[in-house]
Amino acid sequence: MEGTEVRKLAAVEDRHWWYAERRAILAKALAGLTPGKAVDIGAAGGGNTRVLVEHGWSAAPLEYGADGAEVANERGLPVLRADAMKIPINDGSLDLVVAYDVLEHLEDDDRAVEEIHRCLRPGGAFLISVPADPRLWSAHDEAVGHVRRYTRPELIGLLERHGFEIDSVVSWMVLLRPAVAWRRRSTSGSDLDDPPRLVNAALRSVVAMERVLPLGKLPGVSLVVRARRPA
């Protein structure tokens, strides 16, 4: 992601409906996991890293870009400046890796998943979020540096061929998918905006409904996966 987009993200993520709900999804995914050592890959400003810390994890953001690393440092996080395809972590030393909206930015996502598998201890968890469905490709994807959008079989195949076992795969932003598809046909850049307060609250309410509605198998805008390295 370009530096201007990272700064833009950091400026709005604490209040923006999309980032707020994504943090809620991460908090839910942590349920049942015993806190230990974690790395948040592609952390940008460290919004998700802070969720890990709040839930008792010894967590560090791993960020390749200078702007993201600088923002994380400004927020008091012990940022690790590194490439996801060459992680400076010993084999089997992590209990958890989070990669929310990261793999789609990497030309060699196979190499990144292989590295993550190496760093996790047997039984360690891997939490992933990626943009779904190549049919939704738009100027937004280009503006934020995406290389691809994933189908469900593609993402499962990527993880399984590097030794991961899949615990769950669910779609996210199912209810808003028609609106997202319509908007992205008519815009020419990133969706990282700062909507008015009432609009922000309304969108947050809509997407939060998916926490309780059985929509996870329907087409959405993103895929959220919980996987693990076999014990």
pLDDT tier for residue 117 given thresholds of 50, 70 and 90: very high
Contacts by 4-11, CB closer than 8 A, 24 or more apart: 5/143, 5/144, 5/145, 5/190, 5/192, 6/44, 6/45, 6/65, 6/67, 6/68, 6/71, 7/67, 7/71, 8/190, 8/192, 9/44, 9/45, 9/192, 10/44, 10/45, 10/71, 11/194
CA pair distance 112, 106, nearest whole angstrom: 8
pLDDT tier for residue 223 given thresholds of 50, 70 and 90: very high
Q: What residue type is 76 in one-letter code?
A: G
**Collapsed DSSP state (helix, strand, coil) of residue 114:** helix
125-148 pLDDT, tens digit per residue, is: 999 999 999 999 998 899 888 999
Q: What is the CATH number of the domain that holds 185?
A: 3.40.50.150
Q: Which domain holds residue 195?
A: 3-228
Question: In the chain, how many domains are there?
Answer: 1
Quick check: 1 pLDDT over 60? no
